[in-house]
Amino acid sequence: MDILIADDHAMFRDGLRHLLNALDNIVNIIEAATCDETVDMASANILNWTWCYSTLRWAKRTG
């Protein structure tokens, strides 16, 4: 399972990564701290995304 964690709080990303790493079926976890990073990583097709978690405010992003 490939997961993208998008959150502007590094401590939250680290904690979620730690919890997810305990699961056996997690293959890759990528982190993003901004909306632009999230879009870049998701659109780069680096991974076959299974899940994306985001709490970022997307007010300045459209489309």
In the chain, where are the structural domains located? 2-54
With 0.75 as the threshold, say if the pTM is over it: no
Q: Give the tens place of pLDDT for each residue, 7-21.
A: 888 998 899 899 888
Q: Give the tens place of pLDDT for each residue, 47-59.
A: 666 766 666 665 5
**SS3 assignment, position 43:** helix
